[in-house]
Structure 1
């Protein structure tokens, strides 16, 4: 049975039916879309129109950014004087795109511009003293940082001493003391008049785009494709002008003439006809990010900037290869991390997971940490030993209710390098201090009252019936796109009838593919990294619930709707029909109470009941009169009353029916009265009837089933019609007149047939309905008038 990873919570509807009606009537959207818009705080037709149809005029004046005028004038002076300008970037997708935007804008104006993209492993993040000194000694007199620099105080002071001006364009968290740069263009730094920029959530590429807009004195449409990639890749708020940048950027990518971008799209097998923000997030951004994670990210700028198709294809191939290598390393290190955790009880039970690998590639440790957080639903730090060093270096990722940065900060002096924020950190430390780190994290978990027993909450937009999920429904949803941070793609709980076509996919069978079926509709679904749930999902005994996002999948020029599964939950129904005519040991592997109605069957199978389970003969279980969470009814009772007594005594939460019976008496039936008359006559004429040696002959002569004949003889014996001496049956000379129904065997046979009718011959629906009456609580019986 699959247990959900999250606690599902359906979003509360905004109580404004009048506004919903206005949105539906005037905007032409469905009631669902109207409610989603209102939930986002959109409370007017005008605001809703701006949200649904972004306009390029919604972009703010770039000169509202602090120091923009000063920065533009300094760049213009540098261009006019043919100064050497260097754009100092960053090694992730946002940094690569920021660098491309800034350098291309300056190049378009005739500037003498070069780029420098720091190496993750040798330079580290942000301004680097040695790199700055080398660049400036090479003739640079104006340095422009993109996607970094606001915390580069020391390096910028060095640049000033060496006679080089530095313009910082950044969007990261602000330090207590801003650097002494020539200009700082940052959306959350106040301007000279104390005013803040209208939108503080630009990406590094977004800030570079604003500078390019001011420099070129118009919106640079040819840079929107690059700006959109950086904006989506950096997971910034997709509201306000970021929504404009990405909306128009997607259109620009669909029509791009950049050889590098076209080659990358081809390599990623992206369909430009259905291209959207997800293709940026899952196809383009990872390949650009992999360059910086695996080596030198400078080639990423070359890829986006080049107009040489051969060079573009070569770099795109390289980016794809690096991305594949990155995936392999992540899978390898993740598997090793899980092995380490599972093999060590102390690590397995720790509130914060800390794993130390031997010589692991540093560029993928943050991703491995994220995978561990997803796997164990607790913070994780993944470190690796460094070659020819006694140090370890790595990254950490956290969950919403634990501040990882604050947890480590008290031992900052124990670190060689440390930085980050609530959800992610990077750290370098001496290998012999790892135990101190673990101790501090355990202490912080107590101080922050980290609760790992409760599931994280996942907000569900709405519950929808699978039969209503059509192409029109999907197109209506896409009106809310582009989706991203602060405009999350709607997550639905899908109501359906059954799960079909379950199979594992992927090279390592780690993914799960299936379809959910309604009355008229069937939609494919894919669940990444959940391939191990295939058998449970195919088990139709449980009620399965699924939440996920609705997307479109294009294969061989055909586009079909597809659910991207976010979580799966299964609920064991109160009554589970697993009736069988053959028992297997695998039926006795779960904990619970196993009840047997025949001692011979119990003696055969009691030994295979697991230690976590209990085996009872039904008469003993009735006398126990204790509640059972899960009750396994192994064999079929002779009477319905026997089952009723067990159910009323144990009051099980879940009852699983195997109801094994080797031979059904219903198939033999109850002999007719005429048959009894034939038997009576036969016994009268055969004074020494040997029931052992002559039974087959007698059955053939009377044209009766041998088992029926044996049953009838038993009835006659019980009623005193005949007597037995050894194997010989004789008619009693003066038998008392009695009804056949008075014989105990006759009564039992009637009850067995009745039990079989209700328990073995009924369909599942009839079985559930019949058994349910014996599972009702006293209160429910009162409500039902029983």
Structure 2
């Protein structure tokens, strides 16, 4: 058995009485099931989901205060007042700034933008920036993707005589800022959709200002919406769907330069935005001012755009190296043998711009919420980011200890914070207490939500095309994860470091390739003719014009018992398989202990002293098959490793026949006395027997009392008792030994596995744990 790393949750089978019927969409049963899982139960709803319609978007007029804000902005444009767009330094903030800046420029506004420096100013509006804006003649400030927690800054703006319009989508805190207008879906009772990204809110304001639907801004909306990981359902799905098409056909010099640097050709997907475009835009604000990213999206000059994209590419490479270095340092601060319910690590000098990424990597490694902070010795504060596991809401639980923070904000799965250094211990104690009260041990395990179980024969390019109609995928519309259970006809490790696993399956002329990135270490745990349960996402691997259907693995498990065959290897090394979390037992007739940390017993051990185990390692052939069967039944192993080596084989030596015994006895009867020192060679030559064969037959006769042997001279017993060859213990032992070798050593893999299976009547009641290993 190979246990899965994560907890597998299968989607509930949907009500089969609901039937999606639509002549426009000929849907397979698998896709119908996926639609039903998404709450789509009618043909009309399926049509809207599979072909998102821009005309079904809600009117921006439903957002509270949008009319008031629009009137104030239009007045500023008319009077040529200076307008400042105050943005954020991530991809959502940069795209929000770009959307509103382009809209205001189109309307002829006297406008500029400002994005705070992450390192010197931190997140969100700040008093110094507002006072400088006032000194530069700005009397209207519009925030995008930020501001909902800026209570103090709003009061500063009011004191200065600046009208502050806040557009944001982050979680609303206890007190709303006293701004001129707050445009926020969650502060808008009449607006049906509450999950817009910051760029989605900015786009709605831009649409209201322009008086028409600005399709030319959709490409920027797609970047912010996808990169900010908001739910890709309803309005966000429509905006992302059409925004990706706009990105594909974009004439924007900055977008074209980004696509070139990312090597994106043809259709732009949500994965291109999430893994290539978004991280590069984010990299700018993580290492320096985010202005460079806004300049890239705003420039009309392709040469300038190419140069800016190259700069951004270099920043992204630098960001990747910084992340790798901090992750290594952070892991050294985490004591893996006693990881608490929450991981909090802090160190002076860490770049605060990448700490969210570091926290994400720690969450994936340790399955715990993680807070990663940089220590600021000049202020005696710590500042950084947190990421969480699905079962723990960071924002709501962080708000329970809000008094510990100087600044705090974010979402259920991600947060940013600043706090006095002396509060770190209290924060750790408080969060540990909350987590221990709220979560169970199962809550810490990664969860893989599986859409359906399908067979290899179900998988074809037509199915992949249908799945693609469900895109773009993201939060609340995840890419389907399928379980496939089958026996691979090939498994191997690939990659320069052999770190990846490749499996090949074939069913009814359908070929499926399974690829597990970073799962190469599991190859030794795959045994012949054994079905494997795999979970992963389906896709197409295209190389040199050849297309292969591929299952990109997320996890795997083997639910049947396994036999690991190391026979014929002298001193086989089982150390790579040893797992101290498992109950291991080694069977051997040797007096020396083979592995210091593994219990070792002889075949002669009292059965009453044995207990149930997980893995049995058999290092020598047993002296008795029946005794060996009893040991297996008593210990109930889930997996068995056979590691024995036969140097002097009994089975390979042909067994003397009764006719041979008769001939040899007749010789002794005739001669009465035979001196083997003198006559051994003659007998060997006459019969073509080996020396060992003659000695064996002589010893059998001796045991039966037919002869006596003294100093190599055989004397016939003139009056022996009548006995059968079977009465000789040596004769019996040789038959038994040969049978043991034949059964356990010279059998093929399938024969040996069948023999063990017949000993394992306990397997039906075996229970599986959810953990990697054996």
Both structures adopt the same fold (TM-score exceeding 0.5): yes
Aligned equivalent of 1:350: 340
Q: Identify the residue that residue 270 of structure 1 maps to in structure 2.
A: 264
Deviation of 1:361 after TM superposition, in Å, equals 0.6
1:536 Cα deviation after fit = 4.4
Taking the TM superposition and a 5 Å limit, the aligned residue runs for 1:40-119 are 40-119=38-117
The correspondence for 1:435, drawn from 416, 425, 430, is 425
Contact 1:715-1:746 at 8 Å conserved across structures: yes
Aligned 8 A contact 2:375 2:381 in 1:
yes
Q: Deviation of residue 631 (structure 1)?
A: 2.5
What's the counterpart of residue 484 of structure 1?
Answer: 474
Cα distance between partner residues in 1 of 2:300 and 2:59: 31
Structure 1 equivalent of residue 275 of structure 2: 282
Cα distance in 1 between the residues matched to 2:493 and 2:563:
27
- Cα distance in 1, alignment partners of residues 549 and 210 from structure 2: 42
In structure 1, the partner of 2:707 is 722
Whether contact under 8 Å (2:633, 2:762) holds in the other structure is no
The alpha-carbon deviation at position 341 of structure 1 amounts to 1.6
State the alpha-carbon separation in 1 of the partners of residues 311 and 277 from structure 2: 13
Q: Distance in 1 between matches of 2:251 and 2:597?
A: 68
1:693 CA displacement: 6.7
2:369/2:388 contact within 8 Å kept:
yes
Q: 1:126 & 1:757 partners in 2: Cα distance?
A: 76
Q: Cα distance, 1:442 vs. partner?
A: 3.2
| Greater mean alpha carbon deviation, residues 624-633 or residues 701-710 | 624-633
Q: Does 1:612 align with 2:598?
A: yes
Q: Which residue of 2 aligns with 1:470?
A: 460
Residue in 2 aligned with 1:175?
Answer: 173
Cα distance in 2 for partners of 1:708, 1:251 equals 84
- Residues 214/414 of structure 1: CA separation in 2 closer, same or farther (3 Å cut): closer
When the two structures are aligned, how many residues end up with a matched partner? 760
CA distances 1:642-677 after superposition (whole Å, capped 9, x unpaired) = 323333444434333334322332222222233223
Q: Deviations over 1:667-706 (max 9, x none)?
A: 2222223322332244345555344675455323321123
Could you say which residue in structure 2 is the equivalent of 1:254? 248
Match of 1:564 in 2: 552
Partner of residue 662, structure 2: 677
Distance of aligned partners of 1:407 and 1:43 in 2 relative to their CA distance in 1, 3 Å threshold: closer
Q: Which moved more, 1:706-715 or 1:414-423?
A: 414-423
Please tell me whether the aligned partners of residues 563 and 753 of structure 2 are also in contact (alpha carbons under 8 angstroms).
yes
Question: Are 1:589 and 1:610, in contact at CA under 8 Å, matched by a contact in 2?
Answer: no
State the match for 2:19 in structure 1. Answer: 19
Whole-Å Cα distance in 2 between the matches of residues 778 and 148 of structure 1?
58
SS where residue 652 of structure 2 aligns? Answer: helix
2:770 corresponds to which residue? Answer: none
- RMSD in angstroms over aligned alpha carbons? 2.9
After superposition, the C-alpha distances for 1:740-775 in whole angstroms (9 at most, x for unaligned) are 333333233333333333323322222222222222
TM-score for both structures, normalised by structure 1: 0.89
Which deviations, in whole Å up to 9, do the C-alpha atoms of 1:492-538 show, x marking residues without a partner? Answer: 122232385544648xx59634234234455444545x357355456
Report what 2:447 is aligned to: 457
Q: In terms of mean alpha carbon deviation, does 518-527 or 387-396 score higher? A: 518-527
Q: Does 1:770 align with 2:755?
A: yes
Q: Residues 439, 151 of structure 1: CA spacing in aligned structure 2 closer, same or farther, 3 A cutoff?
A: closer
The alpha-carbon distance between structure 1 residues 445 and 328, as it changes in their structure 2 partners (threshold 3 A), is same
Given candidates 290, 303, 323, the residue that maps to 1:297 is 290
1:133: Cα distance to partner?
1.7
Partner residue, 1:243: 237
Partners of 2:758 and 2:522 in 1: CA distance: 34
Matches within 5 A, 1:605-754: 606-616=592-602, 618-622=603-607, 624=609, 626-684=611-669, 688-691=673-676, 695-754=680-739
Structure 1 CA distance, aligned partners of 2:347 and 2:70?
47
Contact 2:343 2:371 in 1 (8 A): yes
Q: CA deviation at 1:138?
A: 1.3
Alignment partners' CA distance in 2, 1:199 and 1:660: 69
Unpaired segments ≥5 residues, structure 1: 781-786
Distance in 1 (CA, whole Å) between partners of 2:35 and 2:309 is 39
Q: Is 1:382 aligned to 2:368, yes or no?
A: no
Give the Å deviation of 1:491. Answer: 1.1
Worse overlay, 68-77 or 233-242: 68-77
SS in structure 1 at match of 2:310: helix
1:436-457 Cα distance to aligned partner (Å, 9 max, x none): 3333333333443554686343
1:135 to 121, 133, 136: 133
Kindly state the Cα deviation for residue 412 of structure 1 after the two structures are TM-superposed.
4.2
SS in 2 for 1:78: helix
Quickly say closer, same or farther: Cα 1:417–1:149, change in 2 above 3 A.
closer
Residue 755 of structure 1 is matched in structure 2 by 740
- After alignment, is 225-234 or 331-340 more displaced? 331-340
Name 1:424's counterpart in structure 2: 414
Do the aligned partners of 1:679 and 1:702 also contact (CA within 8 Å) in 2?
Answer: no
Paired residues of 1:393 and 1:428 also in contact (CA < 8 A): yes
User: Which residue among 192, 199, 202 is the counterpart of 2:193?
Assistant: 199
2:167–2:198 CA contact under 8 A, matched in 1? yes
Matches of 1:626 and 1:353, distance apart in 2: 37
Tell me if 1:5 matches 2:30.
no
Larger relative contact order, structure 1 or 2 (CA cutoff 8 Å, min sep 6): 2
- Matched-pair contact (CA < 8 Å) for 2:169–2:184: yes
Distance 1:350 1:669, change over 3 A: same
Deviation at 1:33, TM superposition (A): 1.0
| 1:145 and 2:131 are equivalent in the alignment | no
